[in-house]
Structure 1
Amino acid sequence: MKLCLMFLLLLLMERNGLCQHEDICVKSVINSCSDCIRSGPYCVWCKQLNFTKAGEQEATRCDTRAQLRARGCRMDEITSPQNNVDVLDEKPLSVSLTSDQQPVQLSPQKISLRLRPGLSTTFKLSFKRVQGYPVDLYYLMDLSYSMKDDLEHVKDLGQDLFEALNNITAHAQIGFGAFVDKTVLPYTNTNENKLQKPCDDNNQQCQAAFGYRHVLSMTAKKEEFKRKVTEQLISGNLDSPEGSLDAVMQAAVCGDRIGWRDNSTRLIVLTTDAGFHMAGDGKLAGILEPNDGRCYMENGLYTRSLTMDYPSVGQVATQLEKNNIQPIFAVTEEVETVYKQLSKMIPKSEVGVLSLDSKNVVQLIKGAYNRLSSKVTVTHDNLPDHVRVFYTPKCEHSGPAGDVTGVCDNVRAGQEIAFDVTVTADSCMRDKAFTIRPLGIKDTLTVTLSTTCECDCKDPQDNSHPHCKNKGGVRCGICRCNEGFVGQFCECSIGEQDEHALRASCQRHNGTECEGRGDCVCGRCQCHSTESGSSYHGDFCQCDDEHCEKYQNTLCGGNGKCNCGKCDCVPDYEGSACQCRVSDTGCRTPNNTVCSGRGACRCSRCQCIEGYQPPLCQECPSCPNPCQAKLDCIECLGFESGVFKQNCSVACKKVIDHEMVDEFSISSKECLQKDTAGCWILFKLEQMVGEDHYKAEILRHRDCPAPPNITAIIGGSIASVALIGILLLMLIKLLIYMKDLKEYQKFENEKKQSKWAEADNPLFQNATTTVANPTFTGE
């Protein structure tokens, strides 16, 4: 049972792997099986006869394995070249150092790869440090005047240095060299007396100014080292930076004079208290010739110091790596930062801080050597174009996997470590070679690389096959016609067919034949090449692969292929120019849904369906009020009444009961609406993920109004009519009164404005006699 389960698990893993890798086959111009396998690592070819339909292009034979199987191609008819790894030389790793043979620290030593373009292969590379591996140490010292105290201490350094190296290996050698700077202005005082004695102190023993001098070749004799160093005198120059890079370059490239051994750990210990001149600084002295990285040493002196510029940091790094030399910069605290920056640009280098009189140099060298030797960095040289190498360390203290180097740290002597080396060739090539090696170690792995860009379909080599009307042979399922015959099945004889009808079938929309980009052969377009060397393609040669959208001035952003004006992106990229990594991080809502289920995530932005708005498709201003829109569904779901009573489950499938779903809601609101029966319904709507998707909950049973009171309505109506009549009469009376009042006021105003004349009446005559009554008292 366990075996069966394991077998099923392996099948699922294999199937998942195929789905992850074989779902992409980007095709361009496909005229043969060879064109197909060059299109991509997961493109395969179906050589099955009659696989294509009538009039269908043979390019449809090229697709992913899954697609071809789905369209009916048998497994045994699918052609797909695979990678092949052949180990040519694999000597076992040395257990210990022996005198009769060279130690082997890297295995294998030679390997041959035959790869399919774009399809990676991985092999194992093993490494083991040999105990007691020989060490060559070249002590390169700054002899400018500021290093006077340090020189006195170095003269007594030989015994301590040899003892320290002997603790590491029984096969140690030491050499010595010195440098100051170019003996020209403005670096050195060119006065004749100053050139002979550049030191400021007249009582000081001082040697003549010089650039770089090789003093002692590699030796195992500590007495000779002490004697040669004791003979050295201090010198001097004008400016602070020294000619350090000149000295390092010559010590690296003049291997026969320095005495570097073929199989040894090579160290250069550079001691100085000043910075360094680099390429371009020589122009200040009129020296314009660039450094060529070659050896110019005669009688121990660098002869081109006055005519050749300083080397660049890149040149020095290249020569140190090429010659397997590891530098240790023993510098004073004032220039530590400068040399740490230099160390970042030189692989396998270390920086240590000297004391004021260099007394700690031995401990510094021991510590730097231990760090260098315990760190194994694997890299490659002479990598051919269109080839990629990726390293995955397999050790306890590994650095990050990378396509430039693989790093294992804290590796002990005798400890075996390994690296998985993944190689990918992106184009067709034959018999290319490159080397893989640990930095600072001579052992190398030589990799010979070729690619399989042709199909081996094992076809019979006859030129008369029934499938091709006996007028040609079959090659990988396609007819290769004999001379004088053309067509998919060699059915056309040149010069015997209806030329007009054949040419008409090569015209799209009665336009130009093959869009002017190809030739019409037997009713089918054979497309020409574009100006850049690729080919037009399509039924009418209407497509090319050079006019797609660019991103950062690169076609399809370098993350896809241009196919008929449209970018076909690799699996991890998307966008019109393949400019975006496939990711939905920017499209996720707080409840971890993508675009709220109402749009698609493109380039980390939501493309919402109509009505919904970015950034997360949560709001829809143009959508109808959900309380009103969902009222009919609430009525039919909750009370089995209303307009949707007969087909409630169909019409209201996007409004669901709150107990039947366990999803995240986006928003919620309470609604109070009147249904078709005039009843009030209080319900809650929660907007769910997805378009027009709600969860409903009725909060209170519907509230329906009481039936009307007829008697009250009739009595109320009569009373209302009577009241209205009285009010109308009162209104008329009020209007009449107001009118009369207005007329009276008008009369009064006119009366006040009347004027009466005072005059005697001519007809009136006064009395002629007046009689007074004597008895009238006036009361």
Structure 2
Amino acid sequence: MSVKLLGYLCLLLVALCPSWAEEQQQQQQCLTSANNCDECIQSGPACAWCTGPHSNTRCHTLKGLRRAGCRQSDMCNPQGTVQVVKNDSSTGPANAKVLSLQPREVSLRLRPGVSQSFPLTITMPTDQPITELTMDTSPVPAGVNITFSNIMNENPLVVQVTVEAANCPSERDDLTQNRTGPWPVHITPRGFAPSVKLDITLECQCDCTRNREENSPGCGGHGALVCGQCECRMPYTGQQCQRDTDSFPSRNEDSCRSGPNAPVCSGRGICEEGFCVCNARMIPVERHSGQYCQCSNFDCPYHNGRICGGHGRCECGQCRCDDDWTGEDCICTMETASCLSKNQKLCDDRGMCQCGVCECERPFQGRTCEDSPF
């Protein structure tokens, strides 16, 4: 390999590795943290939650959720908002130096780690030269940072205001105000009277958390459906609260074996209080399932690189084919249009249509068995 080519490869690796490493860090951040939607969106700015009722992958990056089959409409990924409440210009009292600010009031909803910005227009009096202004703020909540940067250094002066929250306050924090706001903060150019009011609220809770469904049928009537997953009442447990732990007097590892000498959870999970919790896979869409983690949705025949030929789903190691497809790998079509002869007969009544292809009786041949050597 030439030195020049080696140099190009090194540059390519330098360019790709940081983004790959960042993606891996984001995935790990999402996977290791959250038990519910609120914890998920707080675990990192790249984390989203899947509210799909049958999803086995809940907290992941958007890319990871898409790979796991989560629909876009089932993804909870708040990013925060900026809303101008009052946009009329402001001037100080008659005895103050004349200066106007626009907008007057802004409402911001902040997701921790995701900044929000808006332009602030400052109109100086015409008889006063433009000088570098210092922006003062009233007390800011802990963890919230406000920065300023000039966009246009002329009259009117346009300043970009950027607001970001580091994290959501812990419930254990000793706060004199509520945990998530709204908090009023005033921005004032130093030496002048007018100010801009910011109402800052933290996005620390998912919308779906507020819409919990108590005694949900999806949870067997034994718990609340919250953001797509069940929160079970004691003594029930399981994804649909289907297990009554009081009915299992023995909660040892024997309850997690399919037979006397079988491995715990088929070697694919861990035993918790007599129930198997199946191991997660590196590929989110792949998963083990079943009472003993004995099933999988990926140990099925592949065709052209697609499981079940792309025409079915893998359930416990067997393909369940879509309508109009059959076979152990779902590559045999049940459609017969390709077997119709010119007279609209299947294989011209001289053969059988198998997987969309005519198998002709001897001596007939051709695509629809219409050709004869006689």
Give TM class, smaller chain. Answer: 0.5 to 0.7
Aligned equivalents of 1:436 and 1:131: distance in 2? 22
Separation of aligned partners in 1, 2:35 and 2:20: 26
Q: In the alignment, is the contact (CA less than 8 A) between 1:487 and 1:521 conserved in 2? A: no
1:393: which partner in 2? Answer: 150
Distance 2:124 2:95 in 1: 18
Cα deviation 1:675-694 (Å, max 9, x = unaligned) = xxxxxxxxxxxxxxxxxxxx
The one-letter code matched in structure 2 to 1:374 is T
Per-residue Cα deviation, 1:234-257 (whole angstroms, up to 9, x for no partner): xxxxxxxxxxxxxxxxxxxxxxxx
1:461 corresponds, among 213, 225, 228, to 213
What letter is aligned with 1:77? D
Contact 1:487/1:522 (<8 A) preserved: no
Matched, 1:33 2:37: yes
C-alpha displacement at 1:51, in angstroms?
Answer: 1.4
Kindly tell me: are residues 447 and 21 of structure 1, through their superposed partners in 2, closer, same or farther at Cα, counting changes over 3 Å? Answer: farther
Structure 2 equivalent of residue 124 of structure 1:
119
Kindly indicate whether residue 162 of structure 2 is the aligned counterpart of residue 422 of structure 1: yes
Q: 1:99 to 1:422 in 2, by over 3 A?
A: closer
Cα distance, 1:40 vs structure 2: 1.0
Structure with more strand by fraction: 2
Q: Mark the runs of 5 or more structure 2 residues left unpaired by the alignment.
A: 1-18, 169-178, 258-262, 265-270, 280-374
Report the CA distance between 1:34 and its aligned residue.
0.7
Matched to 2:246, the amino acid is G
> Within 5 A, what are the aligned runs for 1:265-276?
none
Q: Quote how far apart the aligned CAs of 1:45 are.
A: 0.5
Are the counterparts in 1 of residues 180 and 204 from structure 2 also a CA contact under 8 Å? no
State how far apart, in whole Å, the 2-side matches of 1:463 and 1:43 are: 28
Counterpart code for 1:386:
G
1:500 alignment partner, SS class? coil
SS at match of 2:66: helix
In the TM superposition, what is the alpha-carbon distance from 1:110 to its structure 2 partner?
Answer: 2.2
Q: Deviations over 1:523-552 (max 9, x none)?
A: 378xxxxxxxxxxxx97xxxxxxxxxxxxx
Report if aligned partners of 2:212, 2:227 keep a CA contact under 8 Å in 1. no
**For 1:126 and 1:102, how far apart are their aligned partners in 2?**
17
**Deviations, residues 619-675 of structure 1 (Å, cap 9, x unaligned):** xxxxxxxxxxxxxxxxxxxxxxxxxxxxxxxxxxxxxxxxxxxxxxxxxxxxxxxxx
Q: Secondary structure, in 3 states, of the residue corresponding to 1:374?
A: coil
* Structure 1 residues not aligned, in runs of 5+: 1-17, 53-59, 133-167, 169-369, 397-410, 511-518, 526-537, 540-779
Residue equivalent to 1:658? none
1:375–1:460 distance in 2 versus 1, CA, 3 Å = closer
Is the 1:126–1:416 contact (alpha carbons within 8 Å) kept by the matching residues of 2? yes
Deviation at 1:482, TM superposition (A): 3.2
Which of these residues, 275, 286, 289, is aligned with residue 523 of structure 1? 275
Taking the aligned partners of 2:116 and 2:254, their CA distance within structure 1 comes to 48
Give the structure-2-normalised TM-score: 0.54
Could you tell me which amino acid in structure 2 is paired with residue 454 of structure 1?
Q
Amino acid at match of 1:422: T
Q: 1:98 to 1:33 in 2, by over 3 A?
A: closer
Matches within 5 A, 1:658-669: none
Cα distance per residue 1:452-489 (max 9 Å; x no partner):
11112285624131x32343332111112234312222
SS in structure 2 at match of 1:376: coil
Give 1:385 deviation, angstroms: 1.5
Paired residues, number: 236
What is the distance in 2 between the residues matched to 1:20 and 1:421? 31
Which of these residues, 234, 237, 250, is aligned with residue 499 of structure 1? Answer: 250
Deviation at residue 116 of structure 1 after TM alignment:
1.2
Letter in 2 for 1:66: K
Distance in structure 1 (CA, Å) of the matches to 2:37 and 2:163: 24
Pair 419,500 (structure 1): closer, same or farther in 2 beyond 3 Å: same
SS state of the match for residue 39, structure 2? Answer: helix
CA shift, 1:451, in A, is 0.8
Q: Deviations over 1:303-340 (max 9, x none)?
A: xxxxxxxxxxxxxxxxxxxxxxxxxxxxxxxxxxxxxx
Partner-residue secondary structure (3-state), 1:73: coil
Describe the superposition over 1:249-268 as per-residue Cα deviations: whole angstroms up to 9, x where unpaired.
xxxxxxxxxxxxxxxxxxxx
Give the C-alpha shift of residue 109 in structure 1. Answer: 2.5
Q: CA separation in 2, counterparts of 1:42 and 1:51?
A: 19
After superposing the two structures, state which structure 1 stretch, 68-77 or 103-112, moved more: 103-112
Instruction: Classify 1:444/1:459 alpha carbon distance in 2 versus 1 (closer, same or farther; 3 Å).
Output: closer
Does residue 473 (structure 1) correspond to residue 213 (structure 2)? The answer is: no
Give 3-state SS (helix, strand or coil) of 2:251's partner: helix
Q: Deviations over 1:329-359 (max 9, x none)?
A: xxxxxxxxxxxxxxxxxxxxxxxxxxxxxxx
Identity of aligned residues (%): 26
Hey, what's the Cα distance between the residues in 1 that align with 2:96 and 2:243? 71
Choose from 56, 62, 65 the match for 2:62: 65
Closer/same/farther in 2, CA of residues 32 and 524 from structure 1, 3 Å limit = farther
* Equivalent residues of 2:188, 2:194 under 8 A apart: yes
Aligned letter for 1:84? T
Matched position secondary structure for 1:31: coil
1:75 paired residue number: 72
Tell me if structure 2 keeps the 8 A contact 1:22–1:66: no
1:89 and 2:89 are equivalent in the alignment: no
User: Is 1:105 aligned with 2:109?
Assistant: no
Q: Does the 8 Å contact 2:79/2:110 carry over to 1?
A: yes
Alpha-carbon distance in structure 2 between the residues aligned to 1:42 and 1:499: 42
Give, as a single letter, the amino acid of the residue that structure 2 aligns with 1:79: C
* Residue 134 of structure 2 is aligned to residue 377 of structure 1: yes
Structure 1 residue 391, shift from structure 2 partner: 2.0
User: Deviation per CA, 1:159-213, whole angstroms, max 9, x where unpaired?
Assistant: xxxxxxxxx7xxxxxxxxxxxxxxxxxxxxxxxxxxxxxxxxxxxxxxxxxxxxx
Superposition pairs of residues 143-158 of structure 1, within 5 angstroms? none
Report the Cα distance in structure 2 between the residues aligned to 1:463 and 1:420, rounded to whole angstroms: 49
Question: Cα gap change, 1:464/1:90 in structure 2, threshold over 3 Å: closer, same or farther?
Answer: closer
Deviation of the 1:100 alpha carbon: 10
Shift of 1:101: 10
Task: Give CA-to-partner distance per residue, 1:727-747, whole Å, 9 cap, x none.
Answer: xxxxxxxxxxxxxxxxxxxxx
Structure 2 CA distance for partners of 1:504 and 1:387, relative to 1, 3 Å? farther
Q: Post-superposition shift, 1:495?
A: 1.8
CA contact (8 A) 1:111 1:448 kept: yes
Which amino acid counterpart does residue 180 of structure 2 have in structure 1? Answer: R
CA 1:503–1:126 in structure 2 vs 1: closer, same or farther (change >3 Å)?
A: farther
Q: 1:522 to 1:379 in 2, by over 3 A?
A: farther
CA contact (8 A) 1:45 1:80 kept: yes
Partner of 1:589: none
Compared CA separation, residues 90 and 485, structure 1 to 2 (3 A): same
**Cα 1:490/1:444, change in 2 over 3 Å:** same
- The Cα of 1:491 is off from its aligned counterpart by 2.1
Q: Give the helix-richer structure, 1 or 2.
A: 1
Tell me if the contact between 1:107 and 1:126 (Cα under 8 Å) persists in the aligned partners.
yes
Q: Which residue of 41, 50, 56 maps to 1:46?
A: 50
Structure 2 counterparts to residues 678-693 of structure 1, below 5 A: none
